[in-house]
Structure 1
Amino acid sequence: MNGGEGFDRARNSLLRRAEPRAEPRRRAGRRRALREGARVTIEKGSDGYYHPASEAELVELIQLANGTTDGTERTLRVRGSGHSVTGAIGVGGGDGGRCAPTPPGDGVIGVMLDRYREILSFEPDPDVPGHMRVTVQGGIHLGADPYDPTGTATWESSLDWFLQEKGYALGDLGGITHQTVSGFLLTGSSGGSLMHSIDDQIVGMRVLDGEGNAHDLGPDDDAFWAVGVSMGLLGVVSTVTFRVMPTFDLFGDQVTVETDDPDAPVAMFAPDDDPKSLASFLAETPYTRLMWWPQHDFGRVQIWRAGRLEPMPSFPRQSYEELGRAPQLASLAGSLIYTLVGNLADVSAVPDVLDRGWYAYLERFLEGEPDPNVCPCLDGEAGERASGRSAANEQLGRTKEALLHHVAERMIAHLRAKGVADAAPPSELEDFAKAVEEKLGATAHPAAALEGAGHPIWDRFVKAFVRFLEVVMEKGFDTKLAQLLADGLALALPYAIGAVLGVFVGLDAKGQKFWDSWRCALPMDNQMDDTLWPTEFTELWVPVEKTADVMNALKTYYAGDGTAKGAYERTGAFSCEVYGAKTSRFWMSPSYGADVVRIDVFWFAGNAGTPEDFYAGFWDLLKPFGFRPHWGKWLPDASDEWAAYYREQLPKLEAFLALRAKMDPKGIFATDYWRQHLRF
């Protein structure tokens, strides 16, 4: 089925108004029944969730939750794409992850809106000539979700696809578009721009309160500004109305440079009034994000930036390539590396972590399946985004050997580019290499034949590292022996982390240029497969006028005690994302009343340990700068102190909670998680 045929079928369905209808495909196991009086009742699906298909069914679930139906009160929570932390979603029942949700806990009505995602109207905007208004149900996804548990969140059924086909656009998007519209908005999510914001395009919302009453809200209503970022605590968002603009393309580039490179487009740590400062760059660049790798003796930043162009659908696209021309190979390699280095204290855990999706993805890759994360072209668009990447995959080979060869080749390329390969490395690297050589023997894969990196010990370390990867990627390895080697790698890693990260963060001052539709270019991280790159986040938003102070505080924090080991304890092996967000009028938005710089600290979810322990230092560090948190990501441990802090930083919090009590008098939308964090 080509994209146009798929869209025609999806469009015919999307443009019907919501009303009781026959079961859609892929929802086998769900039943519907009629009670006396012809009142529609909806029963749980086989997954433990309710899947309403109309507002009337949503109201019925609310009345079931508030005790109107049977006298028993319950909690009701809506699950979107599952990108928020488990507690924020609040359905309970354990954490099966975004790709495999577990059934809701006892006393919780868990709702998925996969049958409530229609486009209800699309008509000229009465206030802004040339713009349109589109009203959508809350369950529609912005883009495709390759791991949607219902299997229904396709590109053809998404809002972005519909708008682009019609010749219109949303003015900004986040780094991914797997989310539902309501989930994206209610957590306060945003794209990377101080000039544009999706918040500015929201002109109406219809929300169902805790008694099942519908409220049609617009910018003239105080409740509109409360509901817009409300974490599901004020009600269920039934519909959202956007003012959408004529479509546009993006032209941009990305360079990867050292953070202290004087020729870099941004002076990361310069005073805010410096023309090249980060604050100036954020203010002057229409769309941007920076991926900062702060590791000791590595210190790199990937700078992605873009601006708008008039649409050129017949002009061949050049897509942004976040992971190069062979993203599947690079993702498999990166995921394997992160899983290993994140579990060195107990390497026996590696196969279980890989079993969460890595092995299955590897099998599909070896069988030649295409990349599920490619943004497809509409009919009439020139170019095929998948073709170049597929060719690169085939050229490099779809084998385990090709994966390992890729790792070795990239490590050696990093060492040559860095100019350190001729110097003798610390003894810990030689100790690890010697142990691998003695215990495992020489590698048989093609990496052994690669031209050396320089110093013989670096050569030996690269081959030993790849040989160890070769062992741990196979189930059934000798865990006692592997742990001995893992202990040696743990000692060497702080000194070798640059070579390891060089596998997927190579220097590229010349950079890559890209031009594409807004739908495919703005969500640059859609290419990061969720099963291979499971990532936790804490995202802290600080007034943009404090940018330089925040960046220098982070730089000092990451340096630790100045040693490689001390720095690695602070940085870990992952990155920190830095970007901006435009001021918002929504009461609970982290950018309420102020443009902000956003510090988004990553944690690989396959690591041993807990994100809270890693994030605690960042929360304490940025607290004096008055950060506000992204509500869908990791928050500091709930306490009276942090609740008081939120009240200091969010001037509308008390008004929000007062309205919450009014709209949800029985507390059916509240959970212990939110009660504890916000103290209500």
Structure 2
Amino acid sequence: MICVGICNIAAKFRVIASSDIFGSMYNGSWHHHDDSAEAPPNRIRIREGYGMAQIIERGNDGFYHPKSEDDLIALIQHARDNKLKVRVRGSGHSSANASIYTGDFESPSQSNPNIDIYMDQMCGVTFDEANMLATVEAGCHIGHDLEDIAGVSTAHNSFMSRLQAKGWALPITGGIARQTIGGFLAMGSSGGSLTYSLLDALQHIRVVDGTGTVQEFNRDDNNLDDPFWAVGVSMGLLGIVTSVTFKCIETYNIKGQETTSRDDKCPVDCFGDGSSGRPSAAQFFKDTPYGRMMWWPQRGIEKIIVWEAERIPAEANFKPKPYQEFAPILGSTKPAQIAASLLFRLYGFINPPGPQGILQNIAAAVLKPLFPLIVNSFLASGMKGPQKFQDYWCDGVPMDDRIDYTLIPVKFSELWIPVDRTKEVFNKIRDHFRTHDITQVGTFTVEVYATPANNFWLSPAYQRDVIKYDMFWFAKNPGDPERDFYPQFWQLLDEFDYRPHWGKFLPGDVARLSSSYPRWDDFMALRDTMDPDQIFVTDYWRRHLGIEA
């Protein structure tokens, strides 16, 4: 472990506020007060030398907005002194609110005594030109977050845009790129490729741990016992990541195509071993630099949408032809997204736990036979032939960034399974959908994509290539997906030794989860050291990881 010790500023400051730290207007600045004055009960005051004190205020949005590591150290010290919890919100993309915040709520309230942090004031980027390294603060969004609660994120200040302006790039992004750097890495997120990995580019991590100590970790591929390999995917349980450094590459463009077909006519043999000109699903993901499938296994639909792309050189006169996930109407995909949103809302009550009462059952009898017809009409344009596209890496690799998630909000549970079980898993899921009604298996799609092996201790791709199966749930459905929907898939695929994505709904079997990770005990021992007072351990993480109080 490389420890730089307690930051100088931490030695100079000490927290002297009441534990009642209700909010007041956040204006992005510090307030200076006479040292003899009492701190208001809705603020955290830290004291420095020369008879002056500074106060960190909670914003009207319920968050603290630190501007520096010094601020974070003060907040952590205050939490330790007053036995409070501390969590950091990224883009809020994780499915379970309780995994993000200090409690199970949509957003923190002024009456919440704990410390929820939003790092919109820590989003700088610096460059090491000689070594082609980019150091980015954890609050910086990878792409443009249209739903940024602070209104800071723009198309121009995202990490990808700043890299592109320099002629640099990342090897890959996720299918969406609105997450913050810190949040994306904390939950072990990744893109869709067995060829490229963002974690392969990660070189350096800087963290303020649960004692208020600043620690730095450097990549050493020859020492897999180094805590770097724990901190890289840590769910915010080892400390607050303040910045990370990536080894960048020269910018590139991509070109590709998307096809829509019946599952038995798909250009990829998802249920068999493949043949000449028609690879198996496992082989497709091994051979395709960037790939993703959207699978509709419901009876009467049974379609697979295959998106695939490869790199092409960046050229001065390049003309992008963006990928369109929805068929444009009068030049816009918004009408189709609105229509899809209305469809999902209309069918919401048909999803698990299914229709309730006489009226809903009557309505279901009418609507259920129409569902395949309606979805097939949405997919009809894709059946006419492949959609060709080409784009800049930063616009094309995150292929889902043009979806309006206020119209189509989605929850997830994503299971990462070894690539050599791909055919078996496809058949298992297909058979399950064939033998169950949509009131049980739902009315949304299954996303399938890949991630290469890495050495991060709690990455779901730890030391094995995986295919990821992500069952979508429309967030406006009346049911509870964690109770009514996902348990069937956790049980169905249990035999395949899956590991779940940390930022999506998790099964509750601690023993099963811990046994899936060879370095689990090492991670937990390090957690004890880096957060001895458990200020980052909320009830959610205690329950899912079996962390004793």
Report the TM-score range of the alignment, normalised by the length of the smaller protein.
Answer: 0.7 to 0.9
Asked whether the 8 Å contact 1:269–1:548 carries over to 2, the reply is yes
Which ranges of 4 or more aligned residues in structure 1 deviate by more than 6 Å? none
> CA separation in 2, counterparts of 1:509 and 1:571?
28
Asked whether the 8 Å contact 2:103–2:539 carries over to 1, the reply is no
Matches within 5 A, 1:598-617: 598-612=468-482, 613-617=484-488
Instruction: Report the 3-state secondary structure (helix = DSSP H, G, I; strand = E; otherwise coil) of the residue aligned with 1:222.
Output: coil
Instruction: Report the 3-state secondary structure (helix = DSSP H, G, I; strand = E; otherwise coil) of the residue aligned with 2:518.
Output: coil
Corresponding residue of 1:56: 70
Corresponding residue of 1:504: 378
Residue 665 (structure 1) aligned to one of 509, 532, 535:
532
> CA separation in 2, counterparts of 1:112 and 1:597?
32
Matches within 5 A, 1:471-490: 484=359, 487-490=361-364
Asked whether the 8 Å contact 2:282–2:420 carries over to 1, the reply is yes
Instruction: Report the 3-state secondary structure (helix = DSSP H, G, I; strand = E; otherwise coil) of the residue aligned with 2:193.
Output: coil
Corresponding residue of 1:299: 302
Quote the offset at 1:137 in angstroms: 0.8
Matches within 5 A, 1:357-376: none
Quote the offset at 1:316 in angstroms: 1.6
Corresponding residue of 2:22: none
Instruction: Report the 3-state secondary structure (helix = DSSP H, G, I; strand = E; otherwise coil) of the residue aligned with 1:216.
Output: strand
> CA separation in 2, counterparts of 1:218 and 1:162?
23
> CA separation in 1, counterparts of 2:168 and 2:134?
10
Corresponding residue of 1:633: 504
Asked whether the 8 Å contact 2:268–2:274 carries over to 1, the reply is no
Matches within 5 A, 1:43-442: 43-67=57-81, 72-84=82-94, 85-92=96-103, 94-95=105-106, 101-103=107-109, 106-125=112-131, 132-220=132-220, 222-261=226-265, 264-271=266-273, 276-325=279-328, 326-343=332-349
Instruction: Report the 3-state secondary structure (helix = DSSP H, G, I; strand = E; otherwise coil) of the residue aligned with 1:66.
Output: helix
> CA separation in 2, counterparts of 1:531 and 1:281?
33
Quote the offset at 1:104 in angstroms: 7.0
Corresponding residue of 1:436: none
Residue identity opposite 2:325 in structure 1: E
Quote the offset at 1:492 in angstroms: 3.0
Cα shift readout 1:627-671 (whole Å, capped 9, x = no counterpart): 0000000011x3xxx111112211111110110000001111111
Instruction: Report the 3-state secondary structure (helix = DSSP H, G, I; strand = E; otherwise coil) of the residue aligned with 1:502.
Output: helix
> CA separation in 1, counterparts of 2:174 and 2:274?
25
Residue 42 (structure 1) aligned to one of 53, 56, 62:
56
> CA separation in 2, counterparts of 1:519 and 1:615?
32
Asked whether the 8 Å contact 1:93–1:106 carries over to 2, the reply is no
Instruction: Report the 3-state secondary structure (helix = DSSP H, G, I; strand = E; otherwise coil) of the residue aligned with 1:633.
Output: coil
Asked whether the 8 Å contact 1:30–1:45 carries over to 2, the reply is no
Instruction: Report the 3-state secondary structure (helix = DSSP H, G, I; strand = E; otherwise coil) of the residue aligned with 1:539.
Output: strand
Cα shift readout 1:295-332 (whole Å, capped 9, x = no counterpart): 10210011000000001242221000001223100011
> CA separation in 1, counterparts of 2:525 and 2:351?
48
Residue identity opposite 2:249 in structure 1: M
User: What is the aligned length?
Assistant: 493
Asked whether the 8 Å contact 1:205–1:218 carries over to 2, the reply is yes
Residue 388 (structure 2) aligned to one of 505, 509, 513:
513
> CA separation in 1, counterparts of 2:87 and 2:129?
32
> CA separation in 1, counterparts of 2:350 and 2:502?
32
Matches within 5 A, 1:527-542: 527-542=402-417
Instruction: Report the 3-state secondary structure (helix = DSSP H, G, I; strand = E; otherwise coil) of the residue aligned with 1:139.
Output: coil
Instruction: Report the 3-state secondary structure (helix = DSSP H, G, I; strand = E; otherwise coil) of the residue aligned with 2:487.
Output: helix
Q: Alpha carbons of 1:488 and 1:106: their partners in 2 closer, same or farther (altered >3 Å)?
A: same
Asked whether the 8 Å contact 1:202–1:241 carries over to 2, the reply is yes
Residue identity opposite 1:106 in structure 2: N
Asked whether the 8 Å contact 2:323–2:396 carries over to 1, the reply is yes
Residue identity opposite 2:114 in structure 1: V
> CA separation in 2, counterparts of 1:581 and 1:660?
26
Cα shift readout 1:318-373 (whole Å, capped 9, x = no counterpart): 00000122310001111011111103699xx9xxxxxxxxxxxxxxxxxxxxxxxx
> CA separation in 1, counterparts of 2:109 and 2:295?
37
Residue 579 (structure 1) aligned to one of 449, 452, 457:
449
Cα shift readout 1:390-416 (whole Å, capped 9, x = no counterpart): xxxxxxxxxxxxxxxxxxxxxxxxxxx
Residue identity opposite 1:673 in structure 2: Y
Quote the offset at 1:509 in angstroms: 5.1
Identity fraction in percent: 40
Corresponding residue of 1:492: 366
Asked whether the 8 Å contact 2:417–2:468 carries over to 1, the reply is yes
Cα shift readout 1:90-127 (whole Å, capped 9, x = no counterpart): 332622xxxxx3437733200000001011333221xx
> CA separation in 2, counterparts of 1:163 and 1:54?
23
> CA separation in 1, counterparts of 2:379 and 2:54?
55
Q: Which has the larger radius of gyration?
A: 1
Corresponding residue of 1:524: 399
> CA separation in 1, counterparts of 2:342 and 2:476?
10
> CA separation in 1, counterparts of 2:104 and 2:293?
36
Residue identity opposite 1:544 in structure 2: V
> CA separation in 2, counterparts of 1:252 and 1:86?
36
> CA separation in 2, counterparts of 1:600 and 1:272?
23
Corresponding residue of 2:14: none
Q: Alpha carbons of 1:512 and 1:272: their partners in 2 closer, same or farther (altered >3 Å)?
A: closer
RMSD, matched Cα: 2.1
> CA separation in 2, counterparts of 1:112 and 1:617?
35
> CA separation in 1, counterparts of 2:26 and 2:546?
41
> CA separation in 1, counterparts of 2:234 and 2:321?
38
> CA separation in 2, counterparts of 1:87 and 1:543?
29
Quote the offset at 1:271 in angstroms: 2.9
Cα shift readout 1:157-204 (whole Å, capped 9, x = no counterpart): 110000001001000000101100010001000000000000000000
Asked whether the 8 Å contact 1:253–1:306 carries over to 2, the reply is yes
Corresponding residue of 1:420: none
Asked whether the 8 Å contact 2:174–2:398 carries over to 1, the reply is yes
> CA separation in 1, counterparts of 2:71 and 2:141?
20
> CA separation in 2, counterparts of 1:647 and 1:670?
17
Asked whether the 8 Å contact 1:41–1:57 carries over to 2, the reply is no
Instruction: Report the 3-state secondary structure (helix = DSSP H, G, I; strand = E; otherwise coil) of the residue aligned with 2:191.
Output: coil
Instruction: Report the 3-state secondary structure (helix = DSSP H, G, I; strand = E; otherwise coil) of the residue aligned with 1:41.
Output: strand
Moved more, 114-123 or 535-544: 114-123
Q: Alpha carbons of 1:39 and 1:133: their partners in 2 closer, same or farther (altered >3 Å)?
A: farther
Gaps of 5+ in 1: 1-26, 96-100, 126-131, 350-479, 561-565
Q: Alpha carbons of 1:589 and 1:509: their partners in 2 closer, same or farther (altered >3 Å)?
A: farther
Residue identity opposite 1:89 in structure 2: I
Asked whether the 8 Å contact 1:297–1:498 carries over to 2, the reply is yes
Corresponding residue of 2:520: 653
Q: Alpha carbons of 1:556 and 1:334: their partners in 2 closer, same or farther (altered >3 Å)?
A: same
Instruction: Report the 3-state secondary structure (helix = DSSP H, G, I; strand = E; otherwise coil) of the residue aligned with 1:335.
Output: helix
Instruction: Report the 3-state secondary structure (helix = DSSP H, G, I; strand = E; otherwise coil) of the residue aligned with 1:47.
Output: coil
Which has the larger share of strand?
Answer: 2
Asked whether the 8 Å contact 2:260–2:305 carries over to 1, the reply is yes
Corresponding residue of 1:679: 546
> CA separation in 1, counterparts of 2:469 and 2:110?
32
Residue identity opposite 2:32 in structure 1: L
> CA separation in 1, counterparts of 2:428 and 2:514?
24
Instruction: Report the 3-state secondary structure (helix = DSSP H, G, I; strand = E; otherwise coil) of the residue aligned with 2:128.
Output: strand
Residue identity opposite 1:91 in structure 2: T
